[in-house]
Structure 1
């Protein structure tokens, strides 16, 4: 059967996912904690705890949701609506109900915790199955790149749109008006629901007859053991193991860079909060151009090479931050702002690349895994990827808080000691360089290129069609082994990686 070709309508439909993934995250990060602390009488520590609890629940739920999605095609609902698209469909009304509730005033701390947990469950139920669709829709590298690139562009666009709603409603109802917050949440929830409807109708999944299950679901205890086995088994795929390391440390870097920049501007350069906002907003506009550049680099040379470019750009901007700090006393404030804007733009180019690389690599992981297991487990890989993203976010908060505290940083103080400012510089410049260096060392071992990927996919198709493993070419053998981390003879189901027991004995990864 001839493979279905991905059209631009399909690309548009898939891109709409990031109205949820990008837009709601941007809106909540910018205003929701402010809403709780300033207008809902929730102490700052408790307000932060609301998000921490919800984030931890979400982190655990990611691989669970991945397993459910991978196996949902066995059910009547999965066969009728799709094992992935069923959850897109249920997300349409659920987002419309749960997201505005987060923005209602006058409730207790416990209410907001429960409301955020429920919303995070809804968010995860869509954002784990949703990103698996590129791997479901195509195995052609160019088409995967189109899909994930469009999603990234849509994320930037959605974030920009989402952040316009508060300004509009504040202008209409008055600055700080509680109705403005509620209508912001409600209006954007409508936008997200409409975007999910578009996604549902414009995307498609792998044909049910092309989905291969190696065993029946079994009892509840068997399912739970299978889930744990799947999560750990994903880490025995060499390419995903390396991708996971890159994803984790890139995630920590991105979150840290965003979180510490305000401290650098206000305390190290003595500029205003409004200056921070303007500079950040202006620098973000570069993401559209930078993303186009890194899409091309990733497709032509692969994610590992692209990160080398990211490392050079980020390091150059961070060195520039230090030089600017050292010379600010001899410059006027306007000159400092101009140079800071230039450096922030350069840094944002690197961050745009760092943000795109894991997104680009993820859809290829299920193809590589299939060469070992002969199963399609997109959901598990997306779920583990989401888990790593949440862990990175949690690690960044811990790292920034502890790092600043070690240097004597006093929260809420208008002026900081010289040692505290040194701490800000270390967290702004030194730690990100170390994180980027770690990612670079990991990426050197990842051989994921479009050429190697094609060799692997073609070999899977050949074996599925009845081809003999004895007829493999040396070039294909090398590509399969370098990506999977398994000897060629142990691939294509000739292992017990997916068997539910403590430790496989008949095959070993390397």
Structure 2
């Protein structure tokens, strides 16, 4: 673990962000193609296919909760001291990416697909949760964290593009009805993901241990060790810790914005291939090419990094959701009107949609590194792992529910697996699910953005107050504007923040 302060540069930011080639790429492929792969090549019904994704993500969501707590406390172990409490999990996660290729094997049974997908979800969580805490570990500066997060989302946008472009080309090469394209795609990306994770491990670092952490390492009594073990194993204690994160107002709003908007994106991704193939009567290759317009997310991510500082996350959210809602209506209009220039119109709409989507994916994880600072103002602790795990848990739970509901709708909407042409009522069900479902969730997320006030200016006021209090400043001397900002961001009266460590 590094004890030396280092500078945040663009190369460092890109090296850090390489993991999101997996985070952005793997789950883009899964979201866009796995349900289609299961129902078309693996011989599963829509409900069986959706249940695999739902069950695996729900189990993984529960496991993910413990990962955050483990990484927060891993500095107490020999491995944590040597490799870092966060980065150790990157090191072991790199070779385990081989599991990703196993998802795309045909001719297996339901349990094979369930177990292989569950394993990959858990390995990905083991890497992504510690990875998400690293900006808070590497620097306290808003602009430097924004560099890290912007580089991360630049890489993620690149991964999203590759995750849709490469499969499309392989499907075109091997043929639409050849499952080998999906397996080759899985093998290639498994190798790429492993290399990227290892590079990220090598170029990142963690903050020095705080005085309190140092004291814990010096005083290793049996009772203390037992308390740590109990903390790892007691469900009640874990639930108490994670529930305490929801006491922070900024986090509650951020979580709601994140979950509703990303679930809208999940519904779109899960249904889009079906929508293109069965409703619009275009090939899976065309559908993949439409999704590959996510390449626009690469320059958009750079612009969003500047806008994050200039106009703040709340306004970025509003821009993103508005664009996506208009484009979803556009897709529905193409389905209903069926214009002669359908392909050209689809590419225009899809390109604009990807602008909104890239901002949607960029913003929440650029906001996240500043949430633990708000939490520190209340509880006087650094709990990045805890917040990352809660976000991962709720995200995995919501996408599990969304995917299962999509499968349920397709199953009971009359979808027939393996059938090239679906009945009109099934086509309408697919369109309604993608458009109405996604728009409804985006509208809910949009409403939350109007009262979300965490930005560069308010964060600076907050961190200055934390530093003042750490230097034994009196709470009686707080400035009125600072008091207002602290109360708004935390949801607590100023008199109740900076309290002794207690989650009760």
Please give the TM-score of this superposition, normalised by the length of structure 1. 0.85
Please give the TM-score of this superposition, normalised by the length of structure 2. 0.86
CA distance in 2, matches of 1:37, 1:410: 9
Aligned twin of 2:444: 438
CA distance in 2, matches of 1:327, 1:168: 29
For residues 352-363 of structure 1, the aligned pairs below 5 Å read: 352-363=358-369
Does structure 2 retain, via aligned residues, the 8 Å contact 1:102–1:116? Answer: yes
Aligned residues: 491
1:80-118 deviations in whole A, cap 9, x for unaligned? 21110111111123324x334445566554344333333
Aligned twin of 1:291: 301
CA distance in 2, matches of 1:407, 1:171: 30
CA distance in 1, matches of 2:496, 2:410: 49
Q: 1:226 aligns with which of 221, 231, 237?
A: 237
- What SS does the corresponding residue of 2:360 show, helix, strand or coil? helix
Does structure 1 retain, via aligned residues, the 8 Å contact 2:332–2:431? Answer: yes
1:24-57 deviations in whole A, cap 9, x for unaligned? 3334455656666666666665454433332122
Does structure 2 retain, via aligned residues, the 8 Å contact 1:132–1:378? Answer: yes
Q: CA RMSD in A?
A: 3.3
CA distance in 2, matches of 1:371, 1:470: 15
CA 1:273–1:41: 2 relative to 1, 3 Å:
closer
Aligned twin of 1:134: 135
Aligned twin of 2:487: 481
1:451-482 deviations in whole A, cap 9, x for unaligned? 10011111111211222222211111111111
Q: 1:276 aligns with which of 265, 284, 287?
A: 287
1:176-216 deviations in whole A, cap 9, x for unaligned? 88887665444433322221221111111111136759985
Which stretches in structure 2 are left out of the alignment for 5+ residues? 217-223
Whether 2:32 is the aligned partner of 1:26: answer no
CA distance in 1, matches of 2:202, 2:230: 36
- What SS does the corresponding residue of 2:451 show, helix, strand or coil? coil
Whether 2:325 is the aligned partner of 1:315: answer yes
Q: After superposing the two structures, state which structure 1 stretch, 163-172 or 79-88, moved more.
A: 163-172
**Greater relative contact order (CA < 8 Å, ≥ 6 in sequence):** 2
CA distance in 1, matches of 2:134, 2:58: 25
For residues 61-460 of structure 1, the aligned pairs below 5 Å read: 61-96=63-98, 98-103=99-104, 108-161=109-162, 184-209=185-210, 212=213, 218=227, 220-223=229-232, 224=234, 225-281=236-292, 283-328=293-338, 331-332=339-340, 335-402=341-408, 412=419, 414-417=421-424, 420-460=426-466
CA distance in 1, matches of 2:177, 2:436: 38
CA distance in 1, matches of 2:13, 2:71: 21
Q: After superposing the two structures, state which structure 1 stretch, 362-371 or 204-213, moved more.
A: 204-213
Which stretches in structure 1 are left out of the alignment for 5+ residues? 498-503, 505-510
Aligned twin of 2:14: 12
CA distance in 2, matches of 1:420, 1:51: 22
